[in-house]
Amino acid sequence: MKPSIGVLGGTGPAGSSLGLRYASLGHNVTLGSRDPERAKEFVNTLDLSALTGTLVGGDNLSAAQSEIVVVATPWDGAEATLTSVAQQVQGKIVISMANALYKHGRNMHALTLPRGSVAQHLASCVPGARIVGAFHHAPAKELGDLGSSLHSDILVCSDDSDAIASVIELVNEIPGCRGINAGNISAALAIEAMTAVLINVNIRYKTRTSLSLSGIEAGNK
Amino acid sequence: MKPSIGVLGGTGPAGSSLGLRYASLGHNVTLGSRDPERAKEFVNTLDLSALTGTLVGGDNLSAAQSEIVVVATPWDGAEATLTSVAQQVQGKIVISMANALYKHGRNMHALTLPRGSVAQHLASCVPGARIVGAFHHAPAKELGDLGSSLHSDILVCSDDSDAIASVIELVNEIPGCRGINAGNISAALAIEAMTAVLINVNIRYKTRTSLSLSGIEAGNK
């Protein structure tokens, strides 16, 4: 039985794509939203015929009942959303995929948060959760397009090495994705900030770039 | 006639490898050091038989007379070294390849400097220089092993887009390297911090990883 997945802020492009993808891989997924009616309506617009798991909309509290919880809100809503379900996520793996970015002129820039990154900030706000940074660079469009195979190395970081191993397994379920153990949660600073660089590269080169790390043979480490 | 290259802190692994590589590609290279005798002795230990350019050792001031200047000192010596030759580098391309890192336990971590990165810090210290961030992730060993071809995308960032174009050309001279326009110098925060992540991945996976960006067709942009 694959673990259920709840996505906080699950109606945005990143969260909904991730949720849809994992529902297609046999997970039971809840897309959470501040507005549960909106989440339900949103799910009704999706083509669910290819799913081997389930996908439902609900509020963030119901999403937080899942075995694995993903924070996919905008970065500045992540703290409030996660702390509102702090009790529900105690002891659970909580994947932070938010990036703190801002646009200045034509360029995206990374914001440096006082604790370094969104993931580190969440780890300090909800110390009982097993915060893992992952999926920061994953292209939402390809994630949500179930016919499309990704070619992405997904950098996974946490201070909880068992949680890293679990999330790497989860990543490796997605065709074309490979989870890479990026170490300690302090890596989230670099990983989140790199998202701004990749977006700028996408704009400049009119592409949808992905990151690959050469020379890595094994899967989980 | 290829531009001459001077490397400040040129006797360290990164700077000396870069210098040797460019001397092999027809550039006249000066490896600068606080101790010019040490730089000269160091150059005497190298096999210079395959060079089509020249490689000499000297002090940092003589290195700074070159047309392109590279800052390859440890990060905490970069400001003092570059400001000591501020007059010589006015109007020149100055490549910052230093990474502000520290080791804690078994892991490397990125330091966040007040201005974000070493490159941004140098840009504020010597405003007349055309500071470009590049070569942060380039593996020193492969760079200095002239028989070895690299497979690296080198992220190049600066607030001076002409300087980016020139450095991308310089990067593309190295077999297997590809320069990528990573945009504004604010990208240096992510790029420098990512070095810590890549070093940790190298240690964990017992490899020498390089970064690749998929989906990019063109060279210079």
Q: Which residue in the set A110, A217, A221 is minimally distant from B189, CB to CB?
A: A110
Whole-Å CA distances, A59 to A16, A68, A82, A130, B158:
14, 16, 13, 21, 44
pLDDT in tens, chain A (221 residues): 899 999 999 999 999 999 999 999 999 999 999 999 999 999 999 999 999 999 999 999 999 999 999 999 999 999 999 999 999 999 999 999 999 999 998 899 999 999 999 999 999 999 999 999 999 998 888 899 998 888 899 999 999 999 999 999 999 999 999 999 999 999 999 999 999 999 999 999 999 898 999 888 754 45
Element (H, E) at A32: strand A28-33
Question: Alpha carbon A199 to chain centroid distance?
Answer: 17
| Residues B6, B8, B11, B13, CA torsion sign | negative
Q: What is the largest CA-CA distance in chain B?
A: 48
Contacting A residues, span 14-73, partner chain B, CB-CB under 8 Å: none
B5 vs B24, B63, B196, CA distance in Å? 12, 8, 27
Residues of A in contact with B107 (CB under 8 A): 183-184, 186
Model pLDDT, residue A220? 43
DSSP A150: P
> From A181, which residue of chain B is nearest by alpha-carbon distance?
B201
What pLDDT is attached to residue A206?
93
The residue written with tokens 């060279």 in the block is B219
Interface of A with B in 70-89 (CB under 8 A): none
Residue of A99, A74, A69, A98 lying closest to A86 (CA atoms): A69
Q: Taking CB atoms and an 8 Å cutoff, what residues of chain A touch B194?
A: 190-191, 194
pLDDT of residue B28: 98
Is the Cβ–Cβ distance between B186 and A184 less than 8 Å? no
Which of A155, A205, A214 lies nearest to residue B221, judging by beta carbons?
Answer: A205
- Which structure tokens are listed for B91? 């109007």
Among B187, B198, B212, the residue with its CB nearest the CB of A197 is B187
pLDDT of residue B73: 97
Using CA coordinates, name the residue in chain A closest to B212.
Answer: A212
Compute how many other C-beta atoms are within 10 angstroms of the C-beta atom of residue B205.
17
Of A187, A204, A212, the CB nearest to B214: A212
Position A139 scores a pLDDT of 86
| Cβ contact A30:A54 at 8 Å | no
pLDDT at A218: 56
- The CA distances from residue A61 to A53, A125, A129, in Å, are 20, 17, 15
Contact A58, A39 (CB under 8 A): yes
Q: B79 by DSSP, 3-state: which?
A: helix
Contacts of A184 in chain B (CB under 8 A): 107, 109, 200
8 Å CB contact between B160 and B167: no
Q: Cβ of B201 and A181 within 8 Å?
A: yes
Q: Tell me the pLDDT tens digit for each residue of A33-57.
A: 999 999 999 999 999 999 999 999 9
Which residues in chain B touch residue A178, judged by CB atoms under 8 angstroms apart? none
Q: Do A211 and B213 touch (CB under 8 A)?
A: yes
With a cut of 70, which residues of chain B have pLDDT below it?
A: 218-221
Do residues B144 and B42 make contact, with C-beta atoms less than 8 angstroms apart?
no
In chain B, which residues have their Cβ closer than 8 Å to the Cβ of A215?
Answer: 205, 207-210
* Interface test mutation site (partner B, options A180, A213, A220, A221, max chain B beta carbons within 10 A): A213
What is the overall mean pLDDT for chain A? 95
- Rounded Cα distance between B96 and B131, Å, is 7
A188 φ, ψ to 5°? -60, -30
- B-facing residues of A in 182-221 (CB < 8 A) are 182-184, 186-187, 189-191, 193-194, 196-198, 200-201, 204-205, 207-218, 221
CB A12 within 8 Å of CB A78 = no
